[in-house]
Structure 1
Amino acid sequence: MRRLRYIAFIHKDPDSIYGVSFPDMPGCISAGVTIDEAVRNAVEALSGHVRMLEADGDQVPSPRDFDAIMDDPEFTGDRNGAMTTVIPLIRDRGSTTRINVSFDLGLLEAIDAAARERGQTRSAFLASAARKEIVD
């Protein structure tokens, strides 16, 4: 399965937070106080939007490449003053799968200690770290 990534526009007006919109995903928007928060929230917004489209039996729009978005006259106003970024679609399937992975014992001990500090299970910590790595 190929990794789907959607172009997003990030806007910030004076005295406002950062707003995020997706040219290929009409109606999907997000925001954040910082750019990093806006991008993290955009990942969640994109996932939730796709989940709702699929639940309604609607087609999920395919992402276009950067040049196609930038050349589309429909988005001339949206592009004005916007920063662009790429947001990965991380599908939340609502079910977990048991897997077998191998780690160096010292790394595993560090993972478990960090998970305990955060009040997380090892699985939750690793999932959170993986999501962060995929987004960054």
Structure 2
Amino acid sequence: MVTAETGMTTHAIAIVHEEAGVYGIAFPDFPGCIAAGDDLDDVLRRGAAALAAYIDSLLEDGEPVPTPRSLDRLKADPVFRDDAEGGMIVALPVDLSGNKIVPLDVALDEKLIAAVDRAAERAGLSRSDFLAAAAKAKLGA
């Protein structure tokens, strides 16, 4: 297990399936962490956001974060092999550093907020996640 005190950045293995033009993603080491999207890029963005929210929730509740298994270990798991049948295996970066999220009040022009919300929705992100990503990009982080 990884906790906020022993955090690290690594990769989480995910399984992507497509059915009738809809893509779904699931993370075997993070039970119940799933997302859906209209195309592969969309489902990967939404999957990354869902995984970040899942981990944040665990950390906020003081729960340990599961350590992602290697692909070799997952391939040895018969449940994983069954779940992965007909799907695509992907590795997404995951930040297990346990950096604390701090609430922030800001005042912005309502048209800017509307534009941010539209862009965040297209990216499959919350407003907060979108603004954080924009700030990181601007800062080169």
Short-chain TM bin: 0.5 to 0.7
TM-score by length of structure 1 reads: 0.66
What one-letter code is carried by the residue in structure 2 that aligns with 1:21? A
**Structure 2: segments with no counterpart, 5+ residues:** 1-6, 103-114, 117-131
Query: Residues 81-101 of structure 1: CA distance to partner in whole angstroms, max 9, x if unpaired?
Result: 010101111466324xxxxxx
Query: Residues 57-101 of structure 1: CA distance to partner in whole angstroms, max 9, x if unpaired?
Result: 211000111111111112232111010101111466324xxxxxx
TM-score by length of structure 2 reads: 0.64
Q: Percent identity?
A: 32
- Which has the bigger relative contact order, CA under 8 A and spacing at least 6? 2
| Matches for 1:41-60 after TM superposition, within 5 Å | 41-60=46-65
- The question of 1:127 aligning with 2:133 is answered no
Mapped to 2, the partners of 1:125 and 1:9 lie a distance apart of 28
Equivalent residue in structure 1 for 2:30, among 25, 40, 51: 25
What is aligned with 1:79? 84
The structure having more radius of gyration, on CA atoms, is 1
CA RMSD of aligned residues (A): 2.9
What one-letter code is carried by the residue in structure 2 that aligns with 1:56? D
1:9–1:127 Cα change, 3 Å:
same
Contact 1:43 1:90 in 2 (8 A): no
Across the two proteins, how many residue pairs are aligned to each other? 107
- The question of 1:61 aligning with 2:66 is answered yes
